[in-house]
């Protein structure tokens, strides 16, 4: 039985703007086991980044966690002092961000930025920190790391910079790595290399990973479990095969239809029509209601609870209720993508 390392419990995060309270996260719960790799997938604005920033407690004003708990090894991070939180960041949970172009400070060398993090958390001399930085850069596949250490970020290509970011994030051997769209800004071949690297390091270092992306295709190879997010809620959670081969939520089905398939060149990508819900005035019922082709009356009135489909597979959709009518089109799509 794998041990839970991180539990997010009924997390609610809002932004208090001058227009009112934007409820970006509206009760998200999930857990991460030791050594496990999970993916959080959803469209832009679904709350993926806000979830990860809430975990790191890096939300900027006017964002605020308004409810729930985030437990690391059973301890609620939301009750940590800023001092305690600093020991968590980088040392226990490390993070890499979407745009490697802007995520590194342009006026310091790559080496300086990696060593700085090592010196902050480990009791090492400058020399030892430098050696560790060289080792890390080598590990993420940067050639002649001793020389590259002296380079500035602008002297690295995008892919190299993201590798350096990974080297930095992993330099203190964190237990959890949160990667927020680590490959979105990179071109496709580099994207695959970086994903392979994350997967390899995840296995080698026995680290847990949360990979955030808007592209289901990205998590397919890397993650064992997938959470599908929409409108600040988790719509569906399941193992990789449950999500890909037995999707139950209409939104997940829509996402699957929008992944390009290498095997079928002629197939057209089908985007999900409509716009995400207004989180300033979140709908009373199912957030996907206005875009769902199976929407029923109850969907508009009441937010669906989680229905359990199989072990570890939960779905927030009224169609799984026992009282739901038989919908043929829906039943047909249950097969998901068959490769």
Ligand X SMILES: Nc1ncnc2c1ncn2[C@@H]1O[C@H](COP(=O)(O)OP(=O)(O)OP(=O)(O)O)[C@@H](O)[C@H]1O
Which residues in this chain contact ligand X in the complex, by CB under 6 A?
Answer: 15, 17, 22, 24, 42, 44-50, 63, 214, 279
Say which entry of Mg ion, ligand X, ligand SF4, none residue 295 contacts (CB below 5 to 8 A, set by partner kind). ligand SF4
CB of 137 to ligand X, least distance (A): 28
- 36 to 55: interface string for another protein, x by CB under 8 A: --------------------
CB of 172 to ligand X, least distance (A): 25
Q: Write out the binding residues for ligand SF4, residues 197-256 only, by CB under 6 A.
A: 250
Q: Write out the binding residues for ligand SF4, residues 296-315 only, by CB under 6 A.
A: 296, 299, 304
Total of chain residues touching another protein, rule CB under 8 A? 30
- Residue 67 bridge partners (DSSP): 12
If the CB atoms of residues 38 and 292 are measured against ligand SF4, the closer one turns out to be 292
If the CB atoms of residues 279 and 319 are measured against ligand X, the closer one turns out to be 279
If the CB atoms of residues 41 and 133 are measured against Mg ion, the closer one turns out to be 41
What pairing do the DSSP bridges indicate for beta strands 37-41 and 225-230? parallel
Q: Write out the binding residues for Mg ion, residues 37-76 only, by CB under 5 A.
A: 49
CB of 89 to another protein, least distance (A): 4
Q: Does 148 bind another protein (CB under 8 A)?
A: no
| Site residues, another protein (CB under 8 A) | 56, 58, 60, 82, 86-91, 94-95, 97, 99, 102-109, 116-117, 120-121, 152, 154, 165, 168
């Amino acid at each position: 039985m794998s041990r839970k390392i991180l539990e997010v419990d009924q997390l609610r995060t809002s932004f208090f703007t001058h227009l009112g309270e934007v409820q970006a996260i509206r009760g998200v719960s999930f857990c991460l086991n030791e050594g496990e790799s999970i993916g959080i997938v959803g469209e832009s604005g679904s709350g993926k980044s806000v979830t990860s920033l809430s975990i790191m407690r890096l939300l900027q004003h006017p964002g605020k966690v308004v409810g729930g708990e985030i437990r690391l090894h059973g301890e609620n991070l939301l009750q940590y002092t800023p001092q305690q939180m600093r020991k968590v960041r980088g040392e226990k949970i490390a993070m890499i961000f979407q745009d490697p172009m802007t995520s590194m400070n342009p006026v310091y060398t790559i080496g300086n930025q990696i060593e700085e993090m090592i010196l902050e958390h480990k009791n090492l001399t400058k020399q030892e920190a430098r050696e560790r930085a060289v080792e890390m850069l080598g590990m993420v596949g940067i050639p002649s790391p001793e020389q590259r250490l002296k380079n500035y970020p602008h002297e690295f290509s995008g892919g190299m910079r993201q590798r350096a970011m990974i080297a930095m994030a992993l330099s203190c051997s964190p237990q959890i790595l949160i990667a927020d769209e680590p490959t979105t800004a990179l071109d496709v071949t580099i994207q695959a290399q970086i994903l392979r690297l994350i997967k390899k390091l995840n296995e080698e270092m026995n680290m847990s990973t949360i990979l955030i992306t808007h592209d289901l295709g990205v998590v397919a190879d890397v993650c064992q479990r997938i959470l599908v997010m929409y409108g600040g809620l988790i719509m569906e959670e399941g193992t990789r095969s449950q999500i890909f081969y037995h999707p139950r939520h209409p939104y997940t089905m829509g996402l699957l239809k929008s992944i390009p398939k290498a095997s079928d060149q002629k197939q057209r990508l089908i985007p999900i029509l409509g716009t995400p819900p207004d989180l300033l005035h979140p709908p009373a019922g199912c957030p996907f209601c206005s875009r769902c082709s199976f929407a029923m009356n109850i969907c508009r009135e009441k937010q669906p609870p989680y229905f359990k489909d199989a072990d570890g597979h939960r779905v927030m959709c009224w169609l799984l209720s026992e009282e739901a009518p038989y919908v043929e089109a829906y039943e047909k799509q249950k097969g998901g993508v068959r490769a």
